[in-house]
A and B are shown apart, each in its own frame.
Chain A
Amino acid sequence: MVAPAVDLLRNPLGAVRGLFSIAAMAASPAPAATLELSGGDWGVKGVFDKFLYEEGAIAQVPHIGDLARDSIPSGSLVRFRGMIQDMFDVEYYVGAYKDCNTWQTNKYTDSPVPQDTEQQIWDRRLLYCVPIPGENQWMKNRWHSNAVQPDATSQSLKRKREDVPATVESMDCDSPTKEQNSCLVKIYDGNDADLKLNDIAEFVGIVWKESELVSSSASDSSALAESLMEDDTSLQLPSSTVPRLHCITMRKLSAYSIPSQPGALADICSVRESLLCKLQSVLGEDRLAAEYLLLHLLSKVYSRVEPLAVGKFSLNFSGCQAGADGSASLVASAVGHAISVLLPCSQVVPLSLQDLNSCLIAPRKDYATNRFTYRLVTGGLQLASGTHLTLDETALNTGRLNETGVKNLQSLKSVMESQKVDYDFQYYQMEMPTDLPVLVVSCGKSRILPADALVPLRCSAEAARIHAEASDLSKWRIYLSSAREADHVIEPSMQKILEEDLVAARQKDRTVGSETFHRWLTMARLLSLSYGERSLTRERWEMTKELEMRCAARLRETTA
């Protein structure tokens, strides 16, 4: 079935059409057989998968975003990595038509077809993808390092940007610039079965640019046609700014996994120690806080038992000073910066009254304001699972919150409490599970945003920006990513010990409730993972308890 002679990279369509004609030939001459053609993909995906992943040709496929848009001709094979921001309606297209008694396919293209031919209508799904929100520069570089770099200056520019302070974004609404790098992915044959909103994926397929002739005044496309077109979301996104990618094959990615060479980490303990030292200096030489921060960076939701999201470990650093004249607090910006160079995706959000009151951070559909809005209006909380959020509560001043502000705080609260975001579809709400580790930096204990753990900061030095060798950074990144992805178990014998300890703790101090137990178990797991261990040992459990003891002692001092 394979047509090896065709250059899959330069002429992917040729390959597709070749495979189709083989399949069509096999199926003909029975006319009904053309129906069967619509279902299968004639081995296209298989051929490309083999070519891209087994033969490693994926590296040669250019990224859509890397090259100036104009330099990619229609019909070439490209890839795009992004987050699914919205899902559009199914699109019906002419999948095959009869040209001089032979069936031709129009799959994977947007090319026009001759009129008055026998046609078949097939359908495909449309995903609107955007560049991963909050993705840090180093991560972008890492993915695109093997791509063709236009020139050396931009390379150095990017390197410089890495040292620039963390991306401090107000939770902004859909800004027009985002549209610049987005992409409309067309999915065939139900390949998207397990794709969900906010998933990250790399799509490989054929880029297509239409001629900008949108049927504006077609003679017999009456008012009806026009008004139907008006409602069509994809047409609101001109292909000059939003390219169409006809996806042949794709793979799902996670927001915290980074491409790494296996065996890159030799000595986990020393990596852990060096990272801890660095975090300590970032936090003004507060070792305890650094330990907590490390655990926090490793946390992820690994199971859900309503209404609990097990595994989340949100952290609240109290005792931070607000920055001078309304700028971000020193700790928040230092920590935010550190996280931005360590984790693939992160965001620092100063919670100022003005920002909170100005626009909604939960995604919503807005049917009233303008014509485009069948699209999901993204909000600051539409993030891929695994994106880290640093909330700077020191920026919050006394003042009135309007309805928007109240809703925003509720959304943030629901993320912290149950890792869910309510998407507002105006006539109803939909709960979307998410996984955003949240770090709150505040003066006193945050009453508005209830974190799992509270650590009063004891800075003995100024919070310092992270400065490190590139090799160290890369080690730490791989360390964090692999520890975060690892599985973890507790042996039954250990479970017994845990139970005994929990019971004993409760007998001793009645304020120790299920919340505390949850925190301890989560921390024990994370601590264990941070040492690269896959099952909990007595030693780590004792360490967990010791950390908690020190933290509790500090809390008592603070309140006293």
Chain B
Amino acid sequence: MAEPSSPLVFPESPGLSDRVPATPVSAARNGSARRPRQSPSAGSSGHSTPILPGTPGFGNRTPNYFKFTGGRAREAEPQAEGAPVEDPGSKTYVWGTNISIDDTREAMHLFFERFRESPEAVEAKYIQLLDQVIELEGRSLNIDAQNIFAYNEELYSQVVRYPLEVIPLFDMVVGDIARERRPDWNNHIQARIFNLKLSTNLRDLNPSDIEKLVSVKGMIIRCSSVIPEIKEAFFQCLMCGHFPEVTPVDRGRVNEPSKCANPACSAVNSMTMIHNRCTFTDKQIVRLQETPDAIPEGETPHTVSLLMHDKLVDAAKPGDRVEVTGVFRAMAVRVGPNQRTLKSLYKTYIDCLHVKKADKSRMQMHGGVEFDNNEIFLETDTSPAVYEAKINKLKELSKLPDIYQKLTRSLAPSIWELEDIKKGLLCQLFGGSTKKLSSGASFRGDINVLLVGDPGTSKSQLLQYVHKIAPRGIYTSGRGSSAVGLTAYVTKDPETRETVLESGALVLSDQGICCIDEFDKMSENARSMLHEVMEQQTVSVAKAGIIATLNARTSVLACANPSGSRYNARLSVIDNIQLPPTLLSRFDLIYLVLDKPDEQTDRRLARHLVALHYEDPEVELLEALDLPTIAAYITYARQRIHPKLSNEAAERLIEGYVNMRRRGNFPGSRKKVITATPRQLESLIRISEALARMRFSETVDECDTVEALRLLDVALQQSATDHSTGIIDMDLITTGVSASERTRRENVVSSVKVFIMDRIQAGASLRITELFEDIRANVNQEMSLQDLKTALNTLMTEGFVSVLGDNVARS
């Protein structure tokens, strides 16, 4: 098995090579024709020339070969710096280097026997692990390269630079130790080294990495089927049945005996292979592709082939994010069979030693309730260091005193003003925490927001923006939203001949934000489904007699246009958008995005836009956080921060709520206006929680509740103010009729009743218009025809009058 071109040369101990077990590395070597080498001093000729320490081209050596922790220095002679090896003849070296086989083995032995993760540990880490492997009849031992580095930097660099030579030594040493522990141990154990200090970007692999130990991250996009590879061939003579020892495969080739070894038979070409008795190993080619974060803009992802052996076969599936450690290899491509010329191309692949799946559970290990969705962290942060750095950066951000303002500014920076609305949207993005009681009842943590306003006030842009940074969100237009589903239907409006797309709007955006544009134009059907979604957080789908209830823990962000083209300030929100009050009351925050003619704002908008078109707009936006940062910030907060109400905050909330309710009581008035309902209290809690999350705070503090109260107040001021009295009136939202309006209507009814009693005899009738004129002339009360009709309707249900066409008759 002595290959002339093998880098492992053992001139003094020829027997050694026999003991080199078949490792993945040496097995894979079979394919390679000739390894070119670019290592320093590669140009120097001679195979086994020992190179002395300190030879130019092999710099920075650590002064001591081994780090001794004391004692047991029996075999290895520690070398002083630069001390020449006394007798080159007595040592074996790795080809082209000054790595002495014996020294390295000794270093490994020491590493295994000595290395402890903490000084208190009783037993050495790897001895312990090895015992486990032996116990379980395992075949491999995982070795953390960081441990090697911590113990012996020299050994680490040897492994990384000359893996083909050093890793078989590792296997041997592990085998030796295993036999020491259990003398009858006969199996081969592979050393699998992982967790290199430096993980290479797939794109940055270059010829100088060839035959080095590398670690790359990526995503598996394809696995080949398992390829059985023959390891030992078994032959039997067809003539006499004699079978010789199994023939090991030599560099992918089986040397078929041409003649029966049985002297009695000696038949020529009689040997046949018995497949059942050959031994095979598994092999697999896997394709690894870069993860998106590693790809520069405007390029396509790179890929690399991985070669997996034995246990590593099928260890990962397509779609898995993995970090593989292995030897980067290049294989020459031949022009044709048996030709000595090679194509000038080399195929590269990574001979895998170890595969680590990107640790998805790490995200949830710290007690996250939401097993969230967003993979932002999983994608980029497979290495703990990078991950930590990122988290620290986010944490630092959260410590900024003006983080709230900063986040507000960064949300849709191209949209001006609308500060409070942006704050409301931020709260929605962060969300409150979902509470589940032991009784099974749960309270939603999602905050629903409705924007109502004039056309052209960039509501849609806000929606688009939220949709972009929301962890999981869908964006849909109410117009033409049908039901749950993925397909869509193209219809033509018969009148305008406009083509309309009916998309399946409520494709569930569980754990995300469902953005619905043109909410007012949504069909009744779809809207009714939202009722359930927004309070119970489920969707019931009835199909073929089965009612399925699906989770839809989604926040709803909707925007609606007033039914008249402009918002009529004299009408209530309900009248303006004509949405059922039941649905409206489910929104925590309702904002009116009114376009108030304000010259200052207009001027700023105009200046901003002109600048956008003609100058470098970067300067203005420097203050803001960029989109990925906000997205990461929000994701982290949603996953990790679950704030609890502090006592003071709770006190403050109660106080605020009571205050809100009290506002409806006028001293000396029996009139009761409901200015807040328990729903508002719930909203307040959610908003406070969201605000605490923005600060990465585990407790909801007083400042949060104060701001929450303010935000809710602002929203209510806008949407639930009864314009005839100027007070917030929750009835406007919950029933669509304000308390003052209700009293007015009652007054109208009673005065009409009195009037009719006076004017109309029982059984007689009068035209409504005449009645109206009459009332207008005689009753000192403002009243419209519509008012009269409503009043008559009420009276009709009382059975006081009957209305027939245009005529009113007293019954």
Q: Give A contacts to B, CB under 8 Å.
A: 31-32, 34-35, 38, 86-87, 89-94, 106, 109-116, 118-123, 196-199, 210-211, 213, 215, 217-225, 227-229, 231-232, 303, 305-308, 310-311, 353, 365, 367, 374, 376, 393, 396-403, 405-406, 409, 423, 425-428, 430, 432-433, 442-448, 489-490, 495, 498-499, 502-503, 506-507, 510-518, 521-522, 525
Contact = CB atoms under 8 A, between A and B. Distances in A.
A92 B348 contact: yes
Nearest to A303: B617
A367 B610 contact: no
B28 A224 contact: yes
Nearest to A215: B334
A87 B40 CA distance: 32
B343 A197 contact: no
Interface in B334-371: 334-338, 340-349
Q: Which secondary structure characterizes the binding site on chain B?
A: mixed
List 8 tightest A-B contacts by C-beta distance, closest first.
A196-B298, A31-B43, A513-B456, A444-B498, A502-B606, A222-B252, A92-B346, A218-B334
B206 A123 contact: yes
Given A425-B301, A444-B493, A522-B613, A515 B456 contact: yes
Given A218-B336, A220-B33, A521-B609, A401 B501 contact: yes
A34 B42 CA distance: 11
B347 A445 contact: no
Contact of B298 (A197, A210, A510): A197
B299 A310 contact: no
Given A115-B34, A227-B227, A513-B456, A110 B344 contact: yes
A91 B253 CA distance: 28
A86 B479 CA distance: 39
Nearest to A448: B501
B318 A121 contact: no
A291 B490 CA distance: 32
A479 B299 CA distance: 33
A524 to B, nearest CB: 9
B490 A398 contact: yes
A284 B790 CA distance: 56
A423 B607 CA distance: 36
Given A401-B487, A401-B490, A401-B501, A118 B43 contact: yes
A94 B301 contact: no
B776 interface: no
A398 B492 contact: yes
B707 interface: no
B599 A215 contact: no
B599 A503 contact: yes
B390 interface: no
Contact of B499 (A121, A219, A400, A446): A446
A112 B343 contact: yes
B297 interface: yes
A108 B222 CA distance: 32
A98 B496 CA distance: 78
A397 B491 CA distance: 8
B221 A444 contact: no
A432 B346 CA distance: 32
A308 B465 CA distance: 11
Interface stretch (B47-55, B182-190, B302-310, B794-802): B302-310
Nearest to A225: B31
Given A306-B627, A367-B222, A503-B603, 11 more contacts: A114-B342, A221-B31, A228-B347, A307-B465, A308-B612, A376-B300, A399-B490, A401-B487, A498-B610, A511-B454, A514-B461
Contacts of B229: 223
A112 B344 contact: yes
A409 B501 contact: yes
A121 B209 CA distance: 11
B319 interface: yes
B252 A92 contact: no
Contacts of A210: 343
Contacts of B302: 87, 89-90
Given A31-B44, A231-B287, A223 B227 contact: yes
A38 B42 CA distance: 15
Interface residues of B, number: 106
A273 B565 CA distance: 40
A211 B344 CA distance: 13
Given A224-B307, A231-B287, A406 B456 contact: no
A171 to B, nearest CB: 17
B609 A510 contact: no
Q: Which of A87, A225, A374 has the most CB of B within 10 A?
A: A225
A116 B34 contact: yes
A91 B340 contact: no
Contacts of A430: 292, 295
A179 B801 CA distance: 85
Contacts of B342: 94, 112-115
Most A CB contacts (10 A, CB to CB) among B227, B291, B301 go to B301
B219 interface: yes
Given A444-B496, A447-B498, A503-B602, A427 B219 contact: yes
B783 interface: no
A505 to B, nearest CB: 9
B337 A218 contact: yes
Given A93-B344, A430-B295, A443 B285 contact: no
Interface in B28-76: 28, 30-31, 33-34, 36, 38, 40, 43-44, 57
Interface in B553-594: 566
Given A92-B330, A196-B298, A120 B614 contact: no
Contacts of A109: 344
Nearest to B597: A507
A225 B342 CA distance: 14
A313 B455 CA distance: 21
A405 B488 contact: yes
26 contacts: A32-B43, A32-B57, A94-B346, A115-B34, A116-B34, A116-B340, A218-B336, A218-B337, A225-B347, A310-B613, A367-B221, A367-B222, A399-B489, A400-B488, A400-B490, A401-B501, A423-B300, A425-B292, A445-B496, A445-B498, A446-B498, A446-B499, A447-B479, A448-B500, A506-B605, A514-B461
Contact of A513 (B318, B379, B457, B492): B457
A115 B612 CA distance: 62
A406 B330 contact: no
A231 B207 contact: no
B614 A490 contact: yes
Contacts of A428: 219, 291-292, 379
B192 interface: no
Nearest to B229: A223
A105 to B, nearest CB: 10
B479 to A, nearest CB: 8
B609 A518 contact: yes
Contacts of A87: 299-300, 302
Given A305-B617, A376-B300, A510 B566 contact: yes
Contacts of B205: 90
Contact of B349 (A228, A305, A498): A228
B659 interface: no
B622 to A, nearest CB: 13
A4 to B, nearest CB: 28
Interface string B82-107: 00000000000000000000000000
A34 B41 CA distance: 12
A219 B338 CA distance: 6
A394 to B, nearest CB: 9
Contacts of A427: 219, 221, 289, 319
Given A222-B31, A403-B487, A515-B456, A110 B301 contact: no
Contact of B487 (A38, A106, A406): A406
Contacts of B492: 398
Query: Which has the most chain B C-beta neighbours within 10 Å: A122, A425, A489?
Result: A425
Given A113-B342, A196-B299, A374-B287, A521 B318 contact: no
A221 B283 CA distance: 15
